[in-house]
A and B are shown apart, each in its own frame.
Chain A
Amino acid sequence: MRALSRVLIAVLLLFPYLIFIIRTQSFSFPEITEVANVLSFTLTQAFLSALASVILGVWGALGLVWVFSRFGEIFVNRVTFFLLLPNLVPALFIILSCFQIFKPFPFGMTGIVILHSLINVGTVSVSIFLTLRSRFGRTIELAYVEGASLWFFFRRAGVRLLSTDLYSLFLYVFSLCFASFSVPLMAGKIGSNTLEVLIYEKIRVDGNLAQAIGLSLVQLLMLMGLTLMGKLKIFSTGVRESNYKWSNLKLLSRGSGLLMPVGCVLVSLSGLFTGLLSGIEQIRSTPALVQGLPTLIMGTFLISIGTSIFCIFGLLIVAYGLPHSTFRWFLFSFVAPSSALVGFAMFLLKRNNNNIEFIYIILGLSILILPVLYRFRWANLIDSLEPQIETARTLGASWNLIFTKLVFPQVIGEAGLLAGLAGIWASGDFAISKLVSGKNFTLAMHIDSLMSSYRINPGVTLAWVLIIVGVSVGMFFWGIGRVLGEKSYS
């Protein structure tokens, strides 16, 4: 059964490649010179963006610790969702917001790193904060009692203890920035060429799907190579065991840390304020701009909730199939093909099944997000349970018993959080949705259409509705995860 679950997940993630190979019956690699120039720029911008996001995210996490210490869990959960908002909003709005605030805008590598950091710092801060809370309570408490300063703690123990998590987060942001499309084009120097742009060019200009698939495989191989660094000792000495002693995080509490992630979110979203009133006015004068708004909201819920449900089951199946070293390495290093290719793959799979095309969209989104979620937090969480699993196996427990009594209660809370994150991200998708569906049925698709026909301000107005829908789904799944976790323990 466990082997079957591993095969199921592997086939699911490789699905887009399989579809293309079956339908097109070819793939090829472009010229090495063409790829080499593109790769160096793509790797550099992704590396620097990930590094900046992680460093700033650590500081942001200390700010969240301060919020938790001063205002309690309920308030910090709300701040957490606020920090995840940049993941919801279309990248163009964030880019335009930054252009308005940073004058002159530092186009080039600096500009790309700034934009990627603005989008990802909040998520990284949240992740590190949750890690600190769930696994470092005892260590931090001891350091606090012994009179260690924050700088001493991080210098002597903190970075080493967090190394595995920081490495996972670095890879998470790296893989997102590696596949970034709009940001390098608009914030980079003119002519910035990334792998994603090259793939898009192959599809759109050359009509060469075979080479586009080949480039996606290059992306995959690059990330697989990078994850081999995880074998280095420096990245594998982190604390693995769960430890819910979170009452004494005062040593790490730094209010100033909150400025960074909150500032990033405010800068990202500032553009959503400037066009709001004008957008409302345009909508009032042209009701056709929001025709079918209930359907759009329902469609967004459909995609968002569907992706969350798919991801929560996907993550649990992954948890069931682990521990397994090859499977772990595959999941950690796997990167889905570009969203243009995944969208095309789902379009090919859909054929004439227009009535259920939302299923293909959900499938495509889940294929894209599952490896990201695994790298983000799931990998380290499952790894932290390995000692317990080993003990249980030694005592003769079956795998099913281990999963139901040991693994599930400890992971379902996190699964809910990650599913919520998937739902938030999915609600803002229009790339895959538009490739698969011929009709707008979600808010994100509608916003993209508005922006394609001069109506940027009504798009900004509807972005607020999108935020409300996305956050509500995110919060729901987070809550579900926590409730199921508590019920599982009792």
Chain B
Amino acid sequence: MKILIKYLRPLGTYFFILGLAIIFFHIDHGVELKNATKKLLTVYAYSSFTQSWGAGPELVLIFEEACNCKVDLIDAGDSGVLLQKLRYEVGNVDVVLGMDQMTKDEALSGFAWHEFSEKFFSDIQWSPMLPVSLEKKTLIPFDWAPLTFVIRKGDVKPPISLDDLLDQRFEKKISLQDPRTSNLGFQFYYWLISEKGEAGAINYLEKLKGNIFSMAPSWSAAYGLFQTKQVPLTFSYLTSLMYHWQQEKDLDQIEAANFVQGHPYQVEYVGIPATSADRDLAEKFIRFLLSEKAQEIIVTRNFMLPVVKLTSSSENLRRLPKLKIKELNYSSLTAEKKKTWLELWKGLW
């Protein structure tokens, strides 16, 4: 009997934990059941937006109070994976958030989207800094940020241009993102192609090889190299500075490169699939996203710039350096072109 108890006790403990885990899982995932009478809005977004420290949960809380509805915020991965998932979830998603210029054409050609009326935009005061216009009324920008090199002060003299990055002082000091696996990586590559042409971009990368410490598979891996002081500069968002100022209270250690020829940018879009079950509610959510209150939350939690004019901006927003924005022609960025350029890139190494 004693042996039986001795044997069963650890087994019982772990099955108890397993049972508890299943209960926790259902508590966490089964909230919809409790609120079955409320309208449900399903929002697909990327990982950092949906987390407890991100902008998503706070925005959802405010919106739910206002609309007396339930918002299911789902982490659908980065924009590349998000669109692949959307292919199979059509009909179950009301709002899709997180496409950028790199994936916008694919989104527009691969899926049908709800078209917003002129009335929807009538009272929106777009930020004069926003570098895109609303030529199509289907995918709406909800935040954006210039792209640049983020540098640890004192480690190396900041570069002043793309060509300055070829200088010997940057030998093995730059972390970039792989364009095959990262949108930001492709943004950098496309910037080079826009500046220098296809052949020029390849020639440039050939010269830059010796200065690249690593081409990481993702922004987080590349930025991790920067944060762990493996490299003094990395390609990232200008607004990364705001994270360090706000969260790490680090006002003096990090700076951004300011290139004479200007910088590319990333704009993030939100849209309503045409198959959404409740387009009215989805429109209200997007309208809320474009409100000043929501945009302020996006600035402080998502660390991106607002797309609308803010009556008062935070100190960190004002402190950000003003970078010259370079207009890039994203309409020429087709899936075929992308594939061709990636083959060229692969051939380089």
* Complex interface: chain B residues within 8 A of A255 (CB): none
Q: How many residues of B contact A (CB 8 A)?
A: 72
| CA distance in complex: A195, B344 (Å) | 18
Contact B52 A451 (CB under 8 A): no
Residue B29 CB within 8 A of the other chain:
yes
Residue B268 CB within 8 A of the other chain:
no
Could you tell me which residues of chain A, from 430 to 449, have a CB within 8 Å of some CB in chain B? Answer: 434-435, 437-441, 446, 448-449
Residue from B20, B44, B181 within 8 A of A204 (CB atoms): B181
| CA distance in complex: A282, B51 (Å) | 16
| CA distance in complex: A23, B323 (Å) | 47
Residue A230 CB within 8 A of the other chain:
no
Contact B25 A456 (CB under 8 A): no
Mark contacts of B57-92 with chain A using CB atoms, 8 A cut-off: 1 yes-contact digit, 0 otherwise: 000000000000000101111001101110110001
Q: Which of A23, A104, A295, A451 has the most CB of B within 10 A?
A: A451
| CA distance in complex: A191, B209 (Å) | 10
Could you tell me which residues of chain A, from 259 to 301, have a CB within 8 Å of some CB in chain B? Answer: 271, 274-275, 282, 286, 288-289, 291-292, 294-295, 298-299, 301
Q: Which of B114-122, B135-143, B161-169, B221-229 contacts A (4 or more CB under 8 A)?
A: B221-229
Q: How many residues of A contact B (CB 8 A)?
A: 75
Residue from B48, B214, B221 within 8 A of A449 (CB atoms): B48
* Complex interface: chain B residues within 8 A of A347 (CB): 85, 88
| CA distance in complex: A186, B106 (Å) | 28
Residue from A92, A96, A289, A357 within 8 A of B52 (CB atoms): A289
Contact B22 A455 (CB under 8 A): no
Residue B262 CB within 8 A of the other chain:
no
Q: Which of B50, B178, B224, B230 has the most CB of A within 10 A?
A: B224
Contact A455 B80 (CB under 8 A): no
Q: Which of A315-323, A377-385, A476-484 contacts B (4 or more CB under 8 A)?
A: A476-484
Contact A185 B83 (CB under 8 A): no
Q: A206-B335, A441-B28 are in contact. Are A301 and B51 (CB under 8 A)?
A: no
Residue A201 CB within 8 A of the other chain:
yes
For the complex formed, measure the closest distance between the CB of A352 and the CB atoms of chain B, giving whole angstroms: 7
* Complex interface: chain B residues within 8 A of A288 (CB): 52-53
Q: A96-B228, A200-B181 are in contact. Are A434 and B214 (CB under 8 A)?
A: no
Contact A440 B75 (CB under 8 A): yes
How many pairs of A and B residues are in contact by the CB < 8 Å rule?
186
Q: Which residue of A lies closest to B215 (CB)?
A: A190
Residue A305 CB within 8 A of the other chain:
yes
Contact B26 A205 (CB under 8 A): no
Residue A306 CB within 8 A of the other chain:
yes
* Complex interface: chain B residues within 8 A of A292 (CB): 28, 52
Contact A186 B217 (CB under 8 A): yes
Contact B230 A99 (CB under 8 A): yes
Q: How would you classify the secondary structure of chain A's contact residues: helix, strand, loop or mixed?
A: helix
For the complex formed, measure the closest distance between the CB of B187 and the CB atoms of chain A, giving whole angstroms: 14
Could you tell me which residues of chain A, from 417 to 431, have a CB within 8 Å of some CB in chain B? Answer: none
Contact B214 A439 (CB under 8 A): no
| CA distance in complex: A234, B260 (Å) | 66
Could you tell me which residues of chain B, from 216 to 243, have a CB within 8 Å of some CB in chain A? Answer: 216-221, 223-225, 227-228, 230, 240, 243
Q: Which residue of A lies closest to B218 (CB)?
A: A452
Residue A182 CB within 8 A of the other chain:
yes
Residue B257 CB within 8 A of the other chain:
no
Residue A374 CB within 8 A of the other chain:
no
Residue from A189, A306, A457 within 8 A of B349 (CB atoms): A189
Contact A185 B181 (CB under 8 A): yes
| CA distance in complex: A282, B248 (Å) | 8
Residue A222 CB within 8 A of the other chain:
no
Contact A191 B215 (CB under 8 A): yes
Residue from A104, A295, A446, A453 within 8 A of B172 (CB atoms): A104
Residue A159 CB within 8 A of the other chain:
no
Contact B339 A483 (CB under 8 A): no
Could you tell me which residues of chain B, from 257 to 315, have a CB within 8 Å of some CB in chain A? Answer: 303
Contact A205 B227 (CB under 8 A): no
Residue A181 CB within 8 A of the other chain:
yes
Residue B10 CB within 8 A of the other chain:
yes
Residue A489 CB within 8 A of the other chain:
no
* Complex interface: chain A residues within 8 A of B26 (CB): 355
Residue from A100, A449, A455 within 8 A of B230 (CB atoms): A100
Contact B247 A191 (CB under 8 A): no
Residue B156 CB within 8 A of the other chain:
no
Residue A78 CB within 8 A of the other chain:
no
Residue B338 CB within 8 A of the other chain:
yes
| CA distance in complex: A240, B303 (Å) | 61
Q: A203-B84, A448-B47, A487-B7 are in contact. Are A282 and B247 (CB under 8 A)?
A: yes
Contact A294 B217 (CB under 8 A): no
Residue B326 CB within 8 A of the other chain:
no
* Complex interface: chain B residues within 8 A of A185 (CB): 178, 181, 215-217
Contact A191 B75 (CB under 8 A): no
Contact A96 B230 (CB under 8 A): yes
Could you tell me which residues of chain A, from 164 to 209, have a CB within 8 Å of some CB in chain B? Answer: 181-182, 185-186, 189-193, 197, 200-201, 203-207, 209
For the complex formed, measure the closest distance between the CB of B206 and the CB atoms of chain A, giving whole angstroms: 11
Q: A207-B106, A438-B74, A439-B75 are in contact. Are A453 and B228 (CB under 8 A)?
A: no
* Complex interface: chain B residues within 8 A of A454 (CB): 223, 227, 240, 243, 247, 303
Q: A182-B217, A186-B216, A435-B81 are in contact. Are A449 and B181 (CB under 8 A)?
A: no
* Complex interface: chain A residues within 8 A of B243 (CB): 454
Q: Which of A274, A292, A449 has the most CB of B within 10 A?
A: A449
Q: A182-B221, A355-B29, A441-B25 are in contact. Are A190 and B83 (CB under 8 A)?
A: no
* Complex interface: chain A residues within 8 A of B27 (CB): 295
Q: Which residue of A lies closest to B224 (CB)?
A: A456
Contact A286 B220 (CB under 8 A): no
| CA distance in complex: A112, B110 (Å) | 38
Residue A149 CB within 8 A of the other chain:
no
| CA distance in complex: A439, B60 (Å) | 15
Residue from A201, A344, A476 within 8 A of B14 (CB atoms): A476
| CA distance in complex: A479, B339 (Å) | 52
Listed A/B pairs (16) with beta-carbon separation below 8 Å: A100-B228, A104-B172, A204-B81, A207-B106, A298-B17, A299-B25, A302-B18, A302-B22, A302-B24, A440-B75, A448-B47, A454-B240, A454-B247, A455-B53, A456-B220, A487-B7
Besides A190-B349, A438-B76, A441-B28, 11 other A-B contacts (C-beta < 8 A): A185-B216, A190-B212, A207-B87, A271-B228, A295-B27, A302-B22, A302-B25, A435-B85, A441-B29, A452-B220, A457-B227
Q: List 10 A-B pairs, minimum CB-CB distance, nearest first.
A: A191-B349, A438-B74, A302-B21, A453-B48, A204-B80, A291-B52, A298-B21, A298-B24, A452-B220, A288-B53
